[in-house]
Amino acid sequence: MKHPFLIILFSILCTLNAISQKDILIEAESFINKGGWLSDPQFVEQMGSPYLMAHGMGVPVPNASTKIIFQEKGKYHVWARTKNWVPGNWEAPGRFKVLVNGKTLKNTLGLHADWSWEYAGKIRIKSKDVDIQLSDLTGFNGRCDALYFSKSKKAPTNSEKKLNSWRKEKLGETSTPQKQKAFDLVVTGGGLAGCAAAIAAAEQGLKVALIHDRPVLGGNASEEIRVHTLGIYGKYKRILKMIDTKHYPNGSYKAKYDQEKRDATIKSIKNIHLFLDWRAYDAKAEDNSIKYVDARQTSTGERIRFTAPRFVDSTGDGWIGFWAGATFSYGRESSNTYGENWDKWGELWSPEIADNFVMGSSVLWQTEEKNETQTFPTLPWASEVAKDHEATSGEWYWEFSRNDLHQIHDAEEIRDHMLRAIYGSFSNAKKKDENKKFKLQWVSYLVGKRESRRLIGDHIYTFEDVKKHTKFKDAVVEESREVDVHFQRNLKVETAPDFLSKAIFYETEKYYIPYRSLYSKNINNLFMAGRNFSCSHIGLGGPRVMLTTGQMGAAVGFAAAICQKYNINPREVYEKHLEEYLELIEKQQQ
């Protein structure tokens, strides 16, 4: 849905659907005018929906607003589904109010410790056309998932189990998306791997759907996260040069130039059907073969069922594989599992007994120096994390992992912890005269993940493959970058900030990743590219950077073309057409 008019029309249609009922559910992300609020779809699988967030870096953002047609006049009770994102003994940082027809409802919102319906107040609706607004009070990440208007005073359900079906019922959503689109290849996830996969397959004549849940492409390399691309280009320089970044410092505003290049490139490729701001939410396999991927527009809620003979999971978190029942791993294997011990670093490298203490996620940030003094408050809720750490910018080592947190299930808490670390460290730095003119210029609100689910393929790539430089006969990706595994600093020094990491480097000569690590072992028509490829925790350490994952994507895109040609599954490319496949990779370089 590319035209803004269509988006508005769709919102109105959704609204019209809602007016037939006495109670009305309004998804915040569907607000027609989002003002300064941002749509955040990162945690849908955990909390149920995209939401709006007031990410004003300390300055309250302009109101978000929408128009709703009410069929019945009268007194309504209003709830907002929200949360206090830093519960504690201080004033909640993300407070906001709801305005209805210009009248501010009584209660301040964003006060309860977990996602729940908070009562905003009551309002008498006197006309059919109702104007609703969200008013941010703090600029510090207040969030609103949805508003609910009801003539009854009974609060909506907070039960995690019931909420999904309740939401569907209120929105009049059918179990199957009404729209269906067919492609030769469906690529989910538009990071470097997904983009490269789409380009390679489209070049070979495949009709490709590229589904991505953000408005811009590139994932961790995008201007929204701003990590520069590292690694080598292997045999895919021609393709990867279209989507890579320059080597600016992580977090640099210069990411926007590469963003323009990347987006324009993908949009110009005829065979790529780009679905920006669409987030996949389900995939179904029958007889170990995926039949479809369902996705939802992150603002309007519109849904499409994508069908294809083959699929690429480049979501990073391995969602397509997970929903389809692909076998996967998460966490750190014991050092004996694949012989990945490194005496010098012991437990920091590979543990004797397996655990879930994986590498963490980063949130990058930047400041700018202005001509005038800039103020920034002292924030007790941020100081609790930052302690006495001072900083005026972030880098890759601003990273958070803790053994009670899962990088997928607890991603919101991880992101929020990093926001507290950033605001607190900056607030500390601002107390120094030398930083008085510094102002927060940009703080990402997206979690830059390093490690999550790893889908299991016919080959699991491990540290042994790096050490032996195994030149597999199906080697399609190559890398010479050191294996680089991170650990949290506070593991060695308890008093160190818990949001900073260190890296352990294993220097090496070139190593190779086989094609067999790029398709699922048990889901017959599923490729994977990106950090969710088939590898061990240590195996991921080297190839997790974006030029390498981009190579994986391109390799998968070309394999999909061979699959299409012979109507075969990914494994059969290895078994029956390996020579032709490798030849295709060689030839495409010119």
Interface map 542-571 toward another protein (x if CB under 8 A): ------------------------------
List 32, 348, 578, 584, residue binding another protein (CB under 8 A) = 348
Residues in 208-227 at the binding interface with another protein, rule: CB under 8 A: none
- Applying CB under 8 A, the site for another protein has a residue count of 42
Q: To the nearest whole angstrom, how small is the minimum distance from the Cβ of residue 247 to another protein?
A: 5
The first and second tokens of residue 47, run together, are 């909390």
What span, in angstroms and rounded, lies between the C-alpha atoms of 161 and 149?
A: 22
What span, in angstroms and rounded, lies between the C-alpha atoms of 439 and 444?
A: 15
Residue type, 165: S
* Strand (E) or helix (H) holding 39: strand 38-40
Q: To the nearest whole angstrom, how small is the minimum distance from the Cβ of residue 503 to another protein?
A: 7
Q: Tokens 């309007």 correspond to what residue?
A: 300
List 23, 355, 368, 464, residue binding another protein (CB under 8 A) = 355
- Our finding on whether 403 is near another protein (CB under 8 A) is yes
Specify the stretch interacting with another protein by CB under 8 A; choose among 130-138, 230-238, 338-346, 574-582: 338-346
| Residue 29, phi then psi, degrees to nearest 5 | -65, -15
What span, in angstroms and rounded, lies between the C-alpha atoms of 210 and 586?
A: 25
Compute the residue count for the chain: 590
Pick the closer one to another protein by CB: 170 or 489: 489
Specify the stretch interacting with another protein by CB under 8 A; choose among 146-154, 273-281, 379-387, 400-408: 400-408
Nearest CA-CA partner of 99 in 74, 130, 128, 129 = 130
Residues in 72-101 at the binding interface with another protein, rule: CB under 8 A: 84, 87-89
Could you give the angle at the alpha carbon of 466 between the alpha carbons of 465 and 467, nearest 5°? 95
The first and second tokens of residue 217, run together, are 């492409």
Q: To the nearest whole angstrom, how small is the minimum distance from the Cβ of residue 100 to another protein?
A: 28
How many Cβ atoms sit within 10 Å of the Cβ of residue 464? Answer: 14
Residue 380 makes CB contacts below 8 A (sequence gap 6+) with 88, 89, 90
- Our finding on whether 408 is near another protein (CB under 8 A) is no
Q: To the nearest whole angstrom, how small is the minimum distance from the Cβ of residue 97 to another protein?
A: 22
- Our finding on whether 249 is near another protein (CB under 8 A) is yes
Q: Tokens 């030839």 correspond to what residue?
A: 587
The first and second tokens of residue 390, run together, are 């001072």
Interface map 429-468 toward another protein (x if CB under 8 A): ----------------------------------------
Q: To the nearest whole angstrom, how small is the minimum distance from the Cβ of residue 114 to another protein?
A: 7
- Our finding on whether 344 is near another protein (CB under 8 A) is yes
Residue 116, Cα to own-chain centre: how many angstroms? 23
- Integer-rounded Cα radius of gyration of the chain: 24
Residue 495 makes CB contacts below 8 A (sequence gap 6+) with none
- Our finding on whether 347 is near another protein (CB under 8 A) is yes
Q: To the nearest whole angstrom, how small is the minimum distance from the Cβ of residue 307 to another protein?
A: 38
Whether 167 and 26 have beta carbons less than 8 Å apart is answered as no
Name the burial class of residue 176, with classes exposed (0-12), middle (13-18) and buried (19+) by CB atoms within 10 angstroms of its CB.
Answer: exposed
Specify the stretch interacting with another protein by CB under 8 A; choose among 31-39, 110-118, 265-273, 425-433: 110-118
- Our finding on whether 114 is near another protein (CB under 8 A) is yes
- Our finding on whether 257 is near another protein (CB under 8 A) is yes
- Our finding on whether 490 is near another protein (CB under 8 A) is yes
What span, in angstroms and rounded, lies between the C-alpha atoms of 458 and 441?
A: 46
The first and second tokens of residue 216, run together, are 């811009």
- Our finding on whether 504 is near another protein (CB under 8 A) is yes
Pick the closer one to another protein by CB: 89 or 371: 89
β pairing state of 272-276 and 208-212: parallel
Pick the closer one to another protein by CB: 410 or 464: 410
- Our finding on whether 505 is near another protein (CB under 8 A) is yes
Pick the closer one to another protein by CB: 296 or 417: 417
Q: To the nearest whole angstrom, how small is the minimum distance from the Cβ of residue 248 to another protein?
A: 4
Q: To the nearest whole angstrom, how small is the minimum distance from the Cβ of residue 243 to another protein?
A: 18
Specify the stretch interacting with another protein by CB under 8 A; choose among 120-128, 139-147, 210-218, 397-405: 397-405
- Our finding on whether 254 is near another protein (CB under 8 A) is yes
Whether 419 and 376 have beta carbons less than 8 Å apart is answered as no
List 433, 494, 509, 579, residue binding another protein (CB under 8 A) = 494
Whether 300 and 234 have beta carbons less than 8 Å apart is answered as no
Whether 356 and 332 have beta carbons less than 8 Å apart is answered as yes
User: Where do contacts with another protein occur on this chain (CB under 8 A)?
Assistant: 84, 87-89, 112-114, 246-249, 252, 254, 257, 343-344, 346-348, 351-353, 355, 357, 402-405, 410, 413, 482, 490-494, 498, 502-505, 507
